[in-house]
Amino acid sequence: MTQTPRPITRTTGMTAPREFTGGPRHIAIIMDGNGRWATQRRRPRLFGHHAGARRVREVVEACPELGVKYLTIFAFSTENWKRTQVEVAGLMSLFRRYIMKEMQAFVKENVRVRFIGDRPRLDAKLRGLMDEAEALTAHCTGTNLTIALNYGGRDEVARATQRLAQDVAAGRLDPADVNEETLPRYLDTHVLPDPDLVIRTSGEARISNFLLWQSAYAEYEFVDTLWPDFSKDELRRLVEAYGGRERRFGAVPV
């Protein structure tokens, strides 16, 4: 497979700290707690996922007013296939319906949609809709919404390494040039800046294989709220709390 080197859009914070002040430019969210939210209401887990999908809309809408230019959400992990067949099929159907329903709204709201993750395992209809949403919103210049679908951080690094190795084997890349700037060009996120703030809902303090390389210098917030209860106000509070922190990227304060 031919792999054209991708342009460097950013490097990790250690070599080139991003220059922006105030709030986070890129927020990544692990939307956890849909199942528990549904169980608390004696409803099937899918009921919680549907409620969670409605929260995505509210959070995307809040981004422009909070100064958040990039939002990346973890919708389905490479490990989530281990759930029951009913839940997996229900989630896939929710994703298909969500994309179909929201596509026009994204265009209207100037939201550029991208997907990250390993696509071949997803069904053809869903993949078609993902391609369509990306193409339809390619001109949008507002919020950059990235949906991680069949995504795993280790899987992403493994796939990236495979492509990198192919380039080395074909003589397109010198092994001496493999470094912190060239490797991220092969990641799914190659056009995105690294996340500044990673939020996980539902009280679990784990990163669960999400954006492992990209979050090396991110701030983390673990909140107890279950995802279907997560609100714009809570997001605002977290954005404000982030604004008060000092990020040093390994350097000594001056």
Binding site as annotated, residues: 32-37, 45, 49, 77-79, 81, 83, 200, 206-208, 219
Should residue 98 be labelled a site residue for ligand FPP when binding is judged by CB under 6 A?
A: yes
What six digits make up the tokens of 41? 């209401």
Q: Compute CA distances 12 → 4, 70, 185, 194, 213, whole Å.
A: 21, 16, 12, 7, 9
Is 200 in contact with 209 (CB distance < 8 Å)? Answer: no
Taking CA 182 as the corner, what is the angle to CA 181 and CA 183, rounded to the nearest 5 degrees?
100
Residue 55 or residue 185: which is nearer to ligand FPP going by CB? 55
Out of 23, 33, 117, 152, which residue is the one contacting ligand FPP (CB under 6 A)? Answer: 33
Output the residue with the shortest Cβ distance to ligand FPP. Answer: 35
Q: What is the Cα Rg of the chain in Å? A: 18
* Of 32, 167, 188, 196, catalytic: 32
User: Is the four-CA dihedral 34, 90, 192, 63 of positive or negative sign?
Assistant: negative
Please name which of 2, 20, 11 lies closest in space to residue 183, comparing C-alpha atoms: 11
Contacts of 171 (CB under 8 A, 6+ apart): none
CA-wise closest residue to 45 among 97, 99, 83? 83
**Which runs of consecutive H residues, i.e. helices, occur in the chain?**
34-40, 45-66, 85-108, 124-136, 153-169, 232-243
Catalytic residue among 80, 118, 209, 229: 80
Cβ proximity to ligand FPP, 148 vs 238, nearer residue: 148
Q: Does 114 bind ligand FPP (CB under 6 A)?
A: no
What values do phi and psi take at 133, rounded to 5?
-65, -40
Q: At what angle are helices 45-66 and 85-108 packed, to 10 degrees?
A: 30
Inter-residue contact 28 to 74 (CB < 8 Å) = yes
Is 110 one of the annotated active-site residues of the chain? no
CB of 144 to ligand FPP, least distance (A): 15
Check binding of 148 to ligand FPP (CB under 6 A). no
**Residue 152 binds to ligand FPP (criterion: CB under 6 A):** no
Part in contact with ligand FPP (CB under 6 A); list of ranges 32-40, 116-124, 191-199, 233-241: 32-40
Which parts of 72-91 interact with ligand FPP (CB under 6 A)? 75, 80
Question: Per CB under 6 A, does 227 bind ligand FPP?
Answer: yes
At 223, list the tokens: 């909140």
In the complex, least distance from residue 248 CB atom to ligand FPP, rounded to whole angstroms: 32
Question: Which is nearer to ligand FPP, 10 or 36 (by Cβ)?
Answer: 36
By CB under 6 A, name the one of 27, 53, 59, 164 that touches ligand FPP.
Answer: 53
Cβ 17 to ligand FPP shortest distance, Å = 31
Confirm whether 174 is a catalytic residue: no
* Interface size with ligand FPP, residues (CB under 6 A): 18
Binding residues (CB under 6 A) for ligand FPP: these are 31-36, 49, 52-53, 56, 75, 80, 94-95, 98, 147, 202, 227
The residues carrying an active-site annotation are 32, 80
